[in-house]
Amino acid sequence: MARPGEEAPAMAEEEGEEDALGLLIRRQRKEKRELQAKIQGMKNAVPKNDKKRRKQLSDDVAKVEAELEQKHGEELKKLKETLPKQNKEESTMIDIARLELEDTELSQPPKISKAQKRREKKAALEKEREERIAEAEIENLTGARHLESQKLVHILSRRQLAIKQIPSDGHCMYRAIEDQLKERQNSWTVATLRSQTAEYVRSHMDDFLPFLTNPNTGDLYSQEEFEKYCYDIANTTAWGGQLELRALSHILKTPIEVVQIDSSPIIVGEEYNRKPLILVYMRHAYGLGEHYNSVKPLTDMPTENAS
C-alpha cells in the first residue's frame, strides 16, 4: 500500500481536473440558459404577423446557437487536451455523462403548479406588452405619436395644463379619473370606479344597450352579451370609452372633458354644475389602441432655466 504522503498529490490532481471540468460544464449550461432567455425576449419583441422580421430572427437565432455550440465544443476539446493521457478517457466519460444530464434537465423542466403557470403567463403577457410599447415608442419617435403629443402639448399649454402620463395597462381611463379625483381630495380607487360603472350601466340598460353591438354580426347585444359586458367592466382590464365616461359622469355628478387633437373637446355630464375632470385622449399613444392620460398644472413642469 502506498504511503499517505504519496496518495495526496495524485488525489488532489484528479480532483482539480474534475473541478475544472465541472466548472466548465456549469458555465456552459448557464450560457445556454442565458442565450435561450435572450432568444425568447427577441421573439417577444417581434410581432407575430411580421413574417419578414420573424424570418430574419429565425436566421439570427440559428446563427447564434451554432456559434455557442461551436464555442462550447472547442472549450471542451481544449480542456481535454490539457489533461494527462491516462485521464482522458475518464474525463471524456464524465463530460458525456454531465452533458447528458444537462440536456435532460433542459428538456424536462421541473413540474410547476397551476397557480405558478398562471403567474408566469400573466408576467409573460405583461412583458410582451411592455416590449411592444417600447418598440412602438422607437418607431413613433418621429411619427404619428410624436406629432400627436406635440399638438396636445400646444393645446394644453394654452390652458396652462400639461399631460400627466398614465400607464397603458387596460385601466388607463379609470386611472386618469382616479388621478383627477385625487387632486380634489377624493379617494375613489380604480376598483371602485369599475364596480360602480358596471352597476350603473346594468341598472340603466335601456340607456346603454342601443350603443352596444356584436362586432361580428352588427346585432344589438343579447341579454347574455350585455351581462358579460358589465362583468368585464368590473372584473377585467377591459378598456373604457365614451359609454363608461358617461356612466362615470352620472355616478360622480361631475362633467368629464376629453381633450383630443381631432376635434374640439368632448364634454359628458354637462348638466352637472361642477368643475369638469379633464382627460387627454390619445389615438396613437402606444400603437396598442386608444389611451387616456390625465393632466396637471403647467407650473408643475420643470423649466429649462430652473436651477
- Right CATH number for 142-300 from 3.40.190.10, 3.30.70.260, 3.90.70.80, 3.40.50.880? 3.90.70.80
Cα–Cα dist 72/25, whole Å:
9
pLDDT single digits (tens) 110-122? 567 778 888 888 8
Catalytic residues: 169, 172, 291
pLDDT at 114: 78
Contact 254, 274 (CB under 8 A): yes
Buried b (16+ CB within 10 A) or exposed e, 113-122: eeeeeeeeee
Contact partners, residue 46, CB within 8 Å, separation at least 6: 53, 54, 57
pLDDT at 86: 45
Contact 167, 179 (CB under 8 A): no
pLDDT at 232: 96
pLDDT single digits (tens) 153-170? 888 999 999 999 998 888
pLDDT along the chain (307 residues), means of 10: 48 53 80 84 76 80 84 79 58 55 52 78 82 63 68 89 90 96 90 97 96 92 96 94 96 95 89 95 68 87 43
No. of H helices and E strands in the chain? Answer: 10, 5
Cα–Cα dist 279/152, whole Å:
11
Please state whether the predicted TM-score (pTM) of the whole model is above 0.75. Answer: no
Query: Would you state the cell numbers that stand for residue 302, as one nine-digit string?
Result: 420643470
pLDDT at 62: 84
